Structure 1
Amino acid sequence: MTDHPLPFRDPQLSFALRTDDLLGRLTLDERIAMLHQFAPAVERLGLGPFRTGQEALHGVAWMGPATVFPQAVGLGATWNDDLVRRVGEAVGNEVRAKRAQDDRVGLNVWAPTVNLLRHPLWGRGEEGYSEDPALTSAVAVAYTRGLRGDDPHYWRTAPVLKHWLAHNNETDRDTASSSVRPRVLHEYDLRAFRDAVRAGAVAGVMPAYNLVNGRPNHVSPLLEQHLRSWTDQPLVVCSDAGAPSNLVDSEHYFDTHEEATAAALKAGVDSFTDHGTDSTVMTGRIRDALDKGLLDESDIDTAVRRLLAMRFALGEFDPELDPYAQVDDLDTEEHRALALEAAEQAVVLLRNDGLLPLAPGRGHTVAVVGLLADDCKLDWYSGTLMHRSTPLDGIRERYGADNVVHTEGVDRVRLKTSEGWLRVPEADGTQDGEARGAEGALDPALLAGRTDLPPLTCGDEATELALVDWGDGVLTLRTDEGLYLSVADDGYVRASADEPGGWVVQETFRMEAVGGHDGGHRLLHMGTGGYVSVAADGAKVAVSGEKISRDDATVFESETVEHGADAVARVAAAADTVIVVAGNDPHINGRETEDRTTLALPAQQDRLWRAAHAANPRTVLVLSSAYPYAVVDAAAALPALLWTAHGGQAAGTALARVLAGDVSPAGRLPQTWYASDDDLPGLFDYDVIGSRQTYLYFGGTPLFPFGHGLGYTDFTYSELRTELDGELLRVSLTVTNDGATPADEVAQVYVRRAGPVGAARPSPKGLGRLLGSLDDPTDLPLRKLVAHRRVHLAPGAQERLDFTVSREELGHWSVAHGRWTVEPGAYEILAGASSADVRLTATEVVDVEAQGPRPVVARGLEAVDYDRQTGTVILDRTKTEGDVVAAASAGEEGHLFYRACDFGEGVEGLAFLVSGEGSVAVTVGGHSLSTLFSGDQGPYAYRTVEAVLDLRGVHELRVGLSGSVRLARIDVIPRKESA
């Protein structure tokens, strides 16, 4: 009998030694069980259960009341690393506090999302920080440092970055492949993850659902080749929900689940999130893979070791030493103040001709109108609000309720059938009482999905409904009591939800015209795909699980009682100033599982600001949204325009303080606002360089540029100094507040290659967009953010800002040499208030040796290392590693262009490593020939096809691909030595 603890319980030992000791004490079954998201307890060793995964994107999500901060894209709009770090600290502390109340709350948090906001129609754009990798990295580092905490040994929470890699589409998200060439991979997508991992505050990553270059992210070799090369820390890779099964079920990448599970584990996935809390399916697959020789026990031990290391870091085995074990910071005064500060700093003033700030004054009437005027929208990853401030709430509080008038601007309608008017029956007193809280407030937890409320019926009296078209014809219908029509599991339609929401939204409908303009409408329920039918037992969309068909749908006549635009015009005309609040509902038309279809503001909301402005020229448009909009007419016509992401619990108070001038707005756009859908590339086009995406490459004129944002005072920039000091670029400048208002300014520093690289770019459409400039072999960015800082200055005050930038930020990934390269020559350093508002410039010259042409004889050519392409796609060379290039369409030839290929003193020809069947056409050095071959043995059966060519010196090589040919590599055929 001894009092000495087991080694893994001994806090005097290192975490690594303790982890190894504990691992050695676990049985094989116990180790396998730990690979599921819900790892069971090991009672014989005193280990409790452990869960990977707690959503904490902008507050603790899904676990009841918590402080709700602005959406992630709003945090990105603050451009304030210090603020975001403090938000991370608060969220981490609330995770700890809620963990003490509820052991379902996990300390391994799945946040933040660092996918770049490449495409503004991506449905999950609200979850990211920016389209720019440098800004995204800075904000992610700040947030994860806050979540992780400052203790050198123990972690407040263990952040996991989402979603690895190149994930920007919800459409076909588990089957679509992102074609990512090496330059985009190294300069864009990897960068978003790299800096946060290197900063040491990240516990792991979550692979995305999609494929990259034809290979699912959950079996990506990049996890080991790049992610785990950035740190010595044992990073944990947690699968996305259901993704392990997708490898077989939807992607058909493997024939069996045992093969798929083994491949994911070998590629680096450590924790499998699949089949909910039922771990038996995944552990059974792992056991079967082990029995079939697809896995070794060492593969299992490698993953479990990483998971145990995370648990040690979270203090699970040292509660008496864990500095965060007793944290109880939930809904503190400091957190409420921080939520307000973050919401204020996220507001971006897009346009202002002097109408703002709007000082409160006695007798000065403000009309607050619009579909979001009296709403505080949450999203899928929000917590439950403990405090709620809508724009109307905030403006009434700041300007005085007697000086504020309001109308929502909804269309008010009545629906009639052949049997009478559609109506909402009154619930009996018991049911109604149960649905309301102590103060009469509707309890969403009791209302949504209820089946004890009576369904809608038809009768002599109509229920007037508020109809909102959120865009694309997607409607919500709401009663005067604020209850949305919703469909419960039994298929009946009831007025039973206080907001649209849920994984499958049950509160949205679409009206389909029947037999022309006057033929009435069918009502399609979007959540089930069934049509509304009103029978004697009430309105329903399904019977016994079977959806109501179109033929059996009830036809409704719609009578408009009042158009929302008329109500807005009436209120606007009677007010001194109008504030129109428009935007999106984060559960509708753009969210996880659903991409947007257009940048346009929904037509119903477009009519509202136009009606307000026609009645009152002193109209301000506030866009409260998760995404950019192409509001060209509004930007031209209105005196003031603002944007803020959904700002959490303090959104309304923050907006009112900005409007009143209590706070000078200093938010900056974290992504480009384009003027038209025509400016956008295809949703699935991940080549930001070739298709001229984001502010880095876009050659057109945006509606509002990246980094844009105005304020209520003027700042001047002066005394720019730059110096190349070895591997560092040092930049300093002075910012002065020349106005009479204390305010924040966001100083931004960009770099670009001087000369032709910074000149005007080709049209973003057509062939020029695909090829880029023939005179520009490297296609460097128009400008690239390398540093930023948000500073607060009193009137007349100035501050000297110093920035230190790695010289490698001037460079790019060289496909010719397979390494990061800084070319010799002149580089411009640009300082100013946005990517388009440059106040100061300087030039530095890099004096290094030029890299020279492609050493084809020595290195050969990887097919994917092209300079330009048209009509091709990148796919997987094998299921475990490598890339190939193929024609994007079997019926059209794809083309690859390789610049400055050096064939030295001469070669006899080229050897193409290919699979599939079709043809390879070559144009080089004045020669053109095409080789046709057949005998397709599958995509991974490679063979060498030779083209005899007499080549010497430096030439551009052009390769055409047709059919199902996959080109992996090009090598030279050396000259035979003379006898």
Structure 2
Amino acid sequence: MTAHTPPTEPFRDPQLPFARRVDDVLGRLTLDEKISFLHQFVPAVERLAIAAFRTGQEALHGVAWMGPATVFPQAVGLGATWNPDLVRRVGEAVSKEIRAMRSRDDRVGLNVWAPTVNLLRHPLWGRNEEGYSEDPKLTSAIATAYTRGLRGDHPVYWRTAPVLKHWLAHNNETDRSTTSSSVRPRVLHEYDLRAFRETVEAGAVAGVMPAYNLVNGRPNHVSPHLREHLRAWTEEELLVCSDAGAPSNLVDCEHYFGTHEEATAAALRAGVDSFTDHGTDSTRITGRLRGALDRGLLKEEDLDTAVRRQLSVRFRLGEFDPEYDPHGATGEFDTPAHRALAQEAAEQAVVLLKNDGVLPLAPDTRVAVVGLLADECKLDWYSGTLIHRSTPLEGLYERFGTERVEFAEGVDRVRLKTSGGDFLHVPAAGDAGGRVRGAEGALDPALLAGRTDLPPVTTDVAGTELALVDWGEGVLTLRAPDGRYLSVADDGRVRASVDQPGGWVVQETFRLEPHGDGHLLKHLGTGRHVCVSADGVKVADEDPEVFELVVAERGEQAVARAAAAADVVVVVAGNDPHINGRETEDRTTLRLPEHQERLLRAARAANPATVLTLVCAYPYAFDPAGLPAVLWTAHGGQAAGTALARVLAGDVSPAGRLPQTWYADDADLPGLLDYDVIGSRQTYLYFEGTPLFPFGHGLSYASFSYGDLTARAEEDTLHVSFSVTNTGDVTADEVAQLYTRAVDPSVPRPRRELLAHRRVTLAPGATAGLSFEVPLRAFAFWDVAQDRWRVEPGGYELLAGASCEDVRLRTTVTLDGEPAVARPVVAGGLTSARFDEQSGIEIVDRTKEWGDAVTPADGNRGELLYRRCDFGHGVTGVTVEVAGEGSVELSLDGGPALAVLSPAAPTSGPYDYTSISAPVVASGVHDVRLRLRGPLRLAHVGFSG
């Protein structure tokens, strides 16, 4: 055996610990080289033979933005499987394809920006498709599984390095870079931090990405939570990568800092290690870092800390040990196993919401499949390019035969007549010498928005009949008979040049605006109107064309015709992931678009045996009365249509479960920017109304019984077991769910809270015994009086069943816990944001670097309540630390005001605090109530004896 000969450079020695090797690299880098490491695109250090590196490879449900790859169901669909083992296997497949693609293209990165663990608190969030669940426990279980798959199971070298998105309390797109999420301590710890924490603690996470928004008045990119919480959860060196453009936002739109040098320095000191800004141009970030160093805002040690974290990830990825990297030769790409896994995932993601016996469909059923999504396989912003595809129509053709399936898309067929009497005409793509259809009839993938080589739209006497697809809220797309959508390129010309709406700015959407006896056609991507002139059809700022809309057929007519001739109608409704709800755009309503409602009504009127199938990234609100069956699936990737057809036919019994509450009406929703899930009773945890469908809901073609629930506490663990039996006549999966409820809590606690779940496959008559080990800390809440977790003594009900509302078994356990103690306000006073209850209050930043303060949300008035404050043997005075102008009124136990404290004059700024004192006499334990008046920031209340 040959003895190991250490290389000249210790960082090249695989026998040394990573930490020592990282230190060696750091010691060799110059200051300029260290600075260069802090931009997303890190240049090579040729003198050390260190390769270039970049952070960031999108891989939310498959490899994205890098061309063809296996496309799995959207993240919310993976969440609907409630199956961590399946999701882990999806993560493995995605990471193997990343490695295989990187071997051909070094632009493919190994630092993977996935998964998204933001909780689906509000169903109108535009990025609902990217998250897993509204529940932190389920989210962390699915996210942990995906990161483990992405990481790989080698003890030393990682296949890819997952980065969790988006830290923290990010659940709105509206003004996302300037809005602040007001998050009280209990919500912070019990809800928003929890999904991140449990995933990080599982050990397969390389880092996080801060979100665009602010939390409690402070941008996430300078959040002290990165240091105080995130990095306290693990001994690994976590890499924090900024979101794109967010470093510049600190100055440009948030105006939080006066200069980019201050902002960049503050972000680096807070814990941001890699700056994603200005694309591939690193000069602005590196220039800001040099400026911050020159001004004394940063030290070289600050740079070392960030570079060390990045290098730690690169060493774990095997970059410096290519001969030992077990993943370097991975070549698994678009394999039969990956294709089968994509179908399995799509099948497991289907949720049966209602079934009055019409499903599964008999083999000889004549099916009409109708609706805007019936022959679509939609991609979203984070999808890869499809290698394979299946639509619901194609899946039903395959399963039932083309002779037994009738199709009607349900779009209006129209011509657009100009004021001169001609019609819009779409030339064939072949007129430009280009290929339109591939070998299998699919549109050429080279048909992309922005192409200028295809012939523009013209006018002639006959015109072209267009499919007018109405997506709701006046947003429509126009499609030529061969499937090409009308789009607008940079030259302003209107062309049929793309096979799907898409892009960061969607250039395929229009709006018809009534004008006189006709309509103006507004292009939403540019905000300009379509005009017809001597040099063709284009968008411009002047001389808009007034079109007459000539309707050849309404979509409802075609739907009614197909429905009347069928045994069962399958209405496929839902959303286009790029329209009316997506990154940068929240939805405005839960309702289905009116056009799709009309199609559903037309189908039901023609044939009562109508099955509504929702293919969408969001919950919708609709009336299920009179519908014999309803299903939901997220956009399911390349195998979506095949999977749906197999579920409809009964080849697979559906077992997906809702990962979030489906509310019955918009009136059930809180404000989009109300992040206080406890105070405003949000999500299944606290919602007290009647949902359309509850969290965890999903039906099966089998039936299941539950029995033998037992619970036994032992040291720090509660051992829970129960049995599940398939009482039906088909093999099927059941998702058994275990919840808890505090019987008599002293503070508001969840109505139900998920403790554990298990997805099991059971043959008819088979029984599975399920056991769960639940740590007693799972019953804890964040005690604001003690500023820590506490298990309250008393009874806790255990609820086992098929959803949060479908409870089959229950028992109660009594936990010793830890008794409450009154707040020791004499010693520590009251930290303003650690309130028990509030009304009209917003939490803001105490300083730019640390801490919270409170202020009236409307700048006028608000109220705070602190329960059971212990004044001991007595106090004689109160002091408030405030900034701004206004007053603080103090009372005890709902009594009269004991003191009103107000600065003599407004302070000079929001962080310029002053202390104001007044006499107050109190002893013993009391509830303290504070009323704030005016635009005043309250940081702290102290009491003196």
Alpha-carbon distance between aligned partners in 2 of 1:438 and 1:783, rounded to the nearest angstrom = 53
Per the alignment, residue 714 of structure 2 pairs with 725
Per the alignment, residue 883 of structure 2 pairs with 915
Per the alignment, residue 704 of structure 1 pairs with 693
The 8 Å contact of residues 447 and 499 in structure 2, kept in 1 or not, is answered as no
Per the alignment, residue 959 of structure 1 pairs with 930
1:626 correspondence with 2:617: yes
Per the alignment, residue 820 of structure 1 pairs with 789
Alpha-carbon distance between aligned partners in 2 of 1:625 and 1:3, rounded to the nearest angstrom = 57
Cα distance change, pair 440–640 in 1 and its aligned pair in 2 (3 A): closer
Per the alignment, residue 864 of structure 2 pairs with 896
Aligned partner letter, 2:255: H
Alpha-carbon distance between aligned partners in 2 of 1:211 and 1:334, rounded to the nearest angstrom = 43
1:943 equivalent among 914, 919, 944: 914
Alignment of 1:71-470 (within 5 A): 71-361=74-364, 364-427=365-428, 429=430, 431-437=432-438, 441-470=442-471
Per the alignment, residue 850 of structure 2 pairs with 881
The 8 Å contact of residues 75 and 346 in structure 1, kept in 2 or not, is answered as yes
Per the alignment, residue 772 of structure 1 pairs with none
Alpha-carbon distance between aligned partners in 2 of 1:914 and 1:410, rounded to the nearest angstrom = 60
How big is the shift at 1:457?
Answer: 2.7
Aligned partner letter, 2:588: T
2:770 equivalent among 801, 815, 830: 801
Alignment of 1:674-823 (within 5 A): 674-755=663-744, 757=745, 777-823=746-792
Alpha-carbon distance between aligned partners in 2 of 1:49 and 1:533, rounded to the nearest angstrom = 48
Alpha-carbon distance between aligned partners in 1 of 2:441 and 2:343, rounded to the nearest angstrom = 27
Per the alignment, residue 606 of structure 1 pairs with 597
The 8 Å contact of residues 420 and 458 in structure 1, kept in 2 or not, is answered as no
Q: Partner of 1:445: helix, strand, or coil?
A: coil
Alpha-carbon distance between aligned partners in 2 of 1:849 and 1:249, rounded to the nearest angstrom = 48
Alpha-carbon distance between aligned partners in 1 of 2:820 and 2:835, rounded to the nearest angstrom = 16
How big is the shift at 1:492?
Answer: 1.2
Alpha-carbon distance between aligned partners in 2 of 1:848 and 1:75, rounded to the nearest angstrom = 36
How big is the shift at 1:452?
Answer: 2.4
The 8 Å contact of residues 424 and 455 in structure 1, kept in 2 or not, is answered as no
The 8 Å contact of residues 258 and 286 in structure 1, kept in 2 or not, is answered as yes
Per the alignment, residue 42 of structure 2 pairs with 39
Please give the per-residue CA displacement for 1:452-476, whole angstroms capped at 9, x wherever unaligned.
2232233321211111111111111
Alpha-carbon distance between aligned partners in 2 of 1:841 and 1:501, rounded to the nearest angstrom = 49
Alpha-carbon distance between aligned partners in 2 of 1:4 and 1:155, rounded to the nearest angstrom = 23
How big is the shift at 1:859?
Answer: 2.3
The 8 Å contact of residues 39 and 274 in structure 2, kept in 1 or not, is answered as yes
Cα distance change, pair 429–785 in 1 and its aligned pair in 2 (3 A): closer
The 8 Å contact of residues 927 and 949 in structure 1, kept in 2 or not, is answered as no
Q: Partner of 2:446: helix, strand, or coil?
A: helix
1:536 correspondence with 2:534: yes
Please give the per-residue CA displacement for 1:866-891, whole angstroms capped at 9, x wherever unaligned.
1111111010000000000000112x
Per the alignment, residue 23 of structure 2 pairs with 20
Please give the per-residue CA displacement for 1:176-208, whole angstroms capped at 9, x wherever unaligned.
000001000000000010011101100000000
TM-score, normalised by the number of residues in structure 1? 0.95
1:562 correspondence with 2:561: no
Aligned partner letter, 2:636: G
Aligned alpha-carbon RMSD (Å): 1.2
How big is the shift at 1:439?
Answer: 5.6
Q: Partner of 2:796: helix, strand, or coil?
A: strand
The 8 Å contact of residues 715 and 735 in structure 1, kept in 2 or not, is answered as yes
How big is the shift at 1:441?
Answer: 3.8
Cα distance change, pair 429–340 in 1 and its aligned pair in 2 (3 A): closer
How big is the shift at 1:447?
Answer: 4.2
Aligned residues with identical type, % of pairs: 69
How big is the shift at 1:726?
Answer: 1.9
Cα distance change, pair 675–3 in 1 and its aligned pair in 2 (3 A): closer
Q: How many aligned residue pairs are there?
A: 938
How big is the shift at 1:58?
Answer: 0.2
Alpha-carbon distance between aligned partners in 2 of 1:421 and 1:800, rounded to the nearest angstrom = 72
How big is the shift at 1:853?
Answer: 1.8
Cα distance change, pair 423–849 in 1 and its aligned pair in 2 (3 A): closer
Cα distance change, pair 914–526 in 1 and its aligned pair in 2 (3 A): same
How big is the shift at 1:414?
Answer: 1.5
How big is the shift at 1:3?
Answer: 7.8
Alpha-carbon distance between aligned partners in 2 of 1:527 and 1:291, rounded to the nearest angstrom = 43
Alignment of 1:509-658 (within 5 A): 509-515=510-516, 519-542=517-540, 548-549=541-542, 552-631=543-622, 633=623, 635-658=624-647
The 8 Å contact of residues 429 and 436 in structure 2, kept in 1 or not, is answered as no
Cα distance change, pair 244–590 in 1 and its aligned pair in 2 (3 A): same
How big is the shift at 1:430?
Answer: 5.5
Q: Partner of 1:636: helix, strand, or coil?
A: coil
How big is the shift at 1:852?
Answer: 2.0
Per the alignment, residue 487 of structure 2 pairs with 486
Alpha-carbon distance between aligned partners in 2 of 1:871 and 1:935, rounded to the nearest angstrom = 22
Alpha-carbon distance between aligned partners in 2 of 1:103 and 1:600, rounded to the nearest angstrom = 44
Aligned partner letter, 1:821: R
Unaligned runs of 5+ in 2: none
The 8 Å contact of residues 854 and 938 in structure 2, kept in 1 or not, is answered as yes
1:48 correspondence with 2:18: no
Using the TM superposition, name which of 445-454 and 283-292 deviates more.
445-454
Q: Partner of 2:103: helix, strand, or coil?
A: helix
Alpha-carbon distance between aligned partners in 2 of 1:454 and 1:947, rounded to the nearest angstrom = 79
Please give the per-residue CA displacement for 1:268-294, whole angstroms capped at 9, x wherever unaligned.
000000010111111111111111111
Per the alignment, residue 817 of structure 2 pairs with 848
Aligned partner letter, 1:444: P
The 8 Å contact of residues 847 and 911 in structure 2, kept in 1 or not, is answered as yes
Alpha-carbon distance between aligned partners in 2 of 1:149 and 1:486, rounded to the nearest angstrom = 42
Cα distance change, pair 446–81 in 1 and its aligned pair in 2 (3 A): same
Q: Partner of 1:486: helix, strand, or coil?
A: strand
Alpha-carbon distance between aligned partners in 2 of 1:250 and 1:585, rounded to the nearest angstrom = 30
Per the alignment, residue 873 of structure 2 pairs with 905
Aligned partner letter, 1:320: E
The 8 Å contact of residues 262 and 297 in structure 2, kept in 1 or not, is answered as yes
Unaligned runs of 5+ in 1: 543-547, 758-776, 975-979
How big is the shift at 1:566?
Answer: 1.1
Alpha-carbon distance between aligned partners in 2 of 1:383 and 1:375, rounded to the nearest angstrom = 16
The 8 Å contact of residues 424 and 495 in structure 1, kept in 2 or not, is answered as no
Alpha-carbon distance between aligned partners in 1 of 2:807 and 2:439, rounded to the nearest angstrom = 57
Alpha-carbon distance between aligned partners in 2 of 1:436 and 1:574, rounded to the nearest angstrom = 32
Alpha-carbon distance between aligned partners in 2 of 1:702 and 1:436, rounded to the nearest angstrom = 46
Alpha-carbon distance between aligned partners in 2 of 1:355 and 1:426, rounded to the nearest angstrom = 45
Aligned partner letter, 1:323: P
TM-score, normalised by the number of residues in structure 2? 0.98
The 8 Å contact of residues 367 and 567 in structure 2, kept in 1 or not, is answered as yes
How big is the shift at 1:166?
Answer: 0.3
The 8 Å contact of residues 378 and 577 in structure 2, kept in 1 or not, is answered as yes
Q: Partner of 2:902: helix, strand, or coil?
A: strand
The 8 Å contact of residues 919 and 932 in structure 1, kept in 2 or not, is answered as yes
Q: Partner of 1:703: helix, strand, or coil?
A: coil
Alpha-carbon distance between aligned partners in 1 of 2:250 and 2:892, rounded to the nearest angstrom = 41
1:871 correspondence with 2:805: no
Alpha-carbon distance between aligned partners in 1 of 2:244 and 2:450, rounded to the nearest angstrom = 24
Please give the per-residue CA displacement for 1:699-743, whole angstroms capped at 9, x wherever unaligned.
000000000000001100000011121211111000000111100
The 8 Å contact of residues 344 and 655 in structure 1, kept in 2 or not, is answered as yes
